[in-house]
Structure 1
């Protein structure tokens, strides 16, 4: 049946799960979007949240395949990570183009096309998702130890460096959502144990990771907070939609705390129209409303007892589906800078549709609301 009627959210949930499974590569990678040329790659960040939705929905095998792909990608670059960490310890200058990329080809290769590649959040997010999935489904972790160890080494060495944000912009800053993802990943593995009861990390790495967690927490509490709320980057006063992940599910600040409530309120009041903007002043396809962020807002609302508001977010997302049941990356009903739509359309084509991350976040919100 067409989803345009919006009368059966369960239908859209099921079709979303089917769509994600249908486009998962044999390697286990999820393409960001199968029909949008520059998104036919797999990002660790996007993929981890897609896999998390599949895990929550009971499609554990799909999540397993993605996590094994992540481990394969990291294992293949273990020597490169060792070299980068050694150079950092010698205080050598390391160019952003020498760091690990943010996206990979679906078979796990490096992307040869120019891109805004130096991003750190995906490396923390896959660690967080790995531990959460293993706990949820009782999955073994021992086989992941080499990849976890290499990722932790990379994040200890570079996790607080300036890099591109979630939106692949502003490489000169240290972004709070990125620090939150790195912190969440390190927190998850510090005390994690495998199926044999053995720690995933050796004692020295666990101590170093725990020290980084404390360092990041202090940094965010001081330079990453202004007027009582989390900020877009250290030293800023602005907010960004990606900060919602620091509240739910990363628990960067205590749910219900003053900082959590102020951050939620600022994002809602500044960025919510029908859906949620990435940030004020966005010009990408005119700076429209993003489905993943609208779902994130609803996810946090559902988690904090704002059930009716969360249901409204769910209904709004469902209303953006095409007749085929495909969810886009963003919509332009309340575009901030409509004069930029033609420029991006000419450059890359229409807005990415379907975006697998949009489908995944819709599923996550639907499960959280209980529909």
Structure 2
């Protein structure tokens, strides 16, 4: 859904500047896209450099797809599908072991990050995370639908991915932030739901595969409504009472809770109340990573939800906050040190990994999504050359 800009402060100069930043975001993402098609999480950050995540990449590809650069998004989806296809035998063994009642150790599960060439990383990481696999199913299906493409190009990878998440969706794993292995996270379940629900209706699966995807999606929705709601809103993990900045994704785009559902509205309001300060959104109240700053991509996520539900004033507020925290060179960081939740922890992360990731491609991808939702690209779509705004 795309809305019409309604901010009374918007003028043609504003529109041009925001479109220029969209152009810059596209430039950053495609400049660093690897020949394999992978989007590196950040080209300069010590812990992210040389690695790609399905989670980051799926949202980045969605922004690129909305921008109109079909080829760049295709290349990412080619990379992701190849990563999965190359592991088809591994997934088959994992699924068979689970079906036989084996307690499969997390060390055998698919990793969450890969080298840009598609290999497993060799360094220790918080690797067992299933959200990215659901996100990719949603992203590739959405991209193909938007541009009238045949999903057959990615069929093998899609089927491997569906088999994997259908077998392990209800197992505790690390969350979006690579923490809390012992819990079942509502945002993770939402991502898997969104992917399975999308692919089940896409026609790419056979009848049995589509039925399985629908079945698991239904089980996820039922479980979350029974154990992932407190005080009328979604919670960080099953049985929790607190919220997380990733929870709006369970509404838009993944649809675990429909936008008009009272739970959806209560969730967006709870996230804004607990984690939004002046338009910048924190991950969660107990965050200590780099002192617990505000994340640009989470501001975009909440803004995206507000735009879809018709609150464009709020959506513009989040977009403008992102713009105000972009570097003079047009790079968007992962987070900024405004209103730190745990300032005493900032220095330890600076010493460990250096300055905050800048640019973070996920931040740029989310800017493209929110800018498109607010109509920043309108009037420029027919003047594209090679996917770039003139």
User: In structure 1, what is the Cα distance between the partners aligned to 2:273 and 2:295?
Assistant: 15
Deviation of 1:96 (Å): 0.8
Q: Which residue of 1 aligns with 2:10?
A: none
- Assess, with a 3 A threshold, how the Cα gap between structure 1 residues 106 and 324 changes in structure 2: closer, same or farther: same
Q: Is 2:273 the counterpart of 1:269?
A: yes
Q: Which residue of 1 aligns with 2:307?
A: 302
Contact 2:291–2:345 (8 Å) recurs in 1 = yes
Q: Is 2:100 the counterpart of 1:95?
A: no
User: In structure 1, what is the Cα distance between the partners aligned to 2:315 and 2:156?
Assistant: 39
User: In structure 2, what is the Cα distance between the partners aligned to 1:247 and 1:206?
Assistant: 22
Q: Is 2:291 the counterpart of 1:286?
A: yes
More relative contact order, 1 or 2 (CA 8 Å, 6+ apart):
2
Q: Is 2:116 the counterpart of 1:142?
A: no
**Aligned with 2:24 (options 12, 15, 25):** 15
Q: Is 2:45 the counterpart of 1:36?
A: yes
**Superposition CA RMSD, Å:** 1.2
Tell me the TM-score normalised to structure 1 length.
Answer: 0.95
User: In structure 1, what is the Cα distance between the partners aligned to 2:174 and 2:208?
Assistant: 30
Q: Which residue of 1 aligns with 2:163?
A: 153
Q: Which residue of 2 aligns with 1:57?
A: 67
User: In structure 2, what is the Cα distance between the partners aligned to 1:204 and 1:358?
Assistant: 37
Tell me the TM-score normalised to structure 2 length.
Answer: 0.91
User: In structure 2, what is the Cα distance between the partners aligned to 1:297 and 1:276?
Assistant: 8
Deviation of 1:321 (Å): 1.1
Query: Which structure 1 residue ranges, 4+ long, deviate > 6 Å from structure 2?
Result: none
Deviation of 1:6 (Å): 11
**Aligned with 1:237 (options 212, 219, 241):** 241
Deviation of 1:24 (Å): 0.3
Q: Which residue of 2 aligns with 1:348?
A: 353
Bigger Cα displacement from structure 2, 89-98 vs 50-59? 89-98
Q: Which residue of 1 aligns with 2:78?
A: 68
Contact 2:293–2:335 (8 Å) recurs in 1 = yes
User: In structure 2, what is the Cα distance between the partners aligned to 1:328 and 1:160?
Assistant: 33
User: In structure 1, what is the Cα distance between the partners aligned to 2:19 and 2:365?
Assistant: 14
Which SS does the other structure have where 1:39 is aligned? coil
Contact 1:247–1:253 (8 Å) recurs in 2 = yes
Please list every run of 5 or more consecutive structure 2 residues that lacks an aligned counterpart in the other structure. Answer: 1-13, 377-390
Please list every run of 5 or more consecutive structure 1 residues that lacks an aligned counterpart in the other structure. Answer: 194-199
Contact 1:6–1:318 (8 Å) recurs in 2 = no
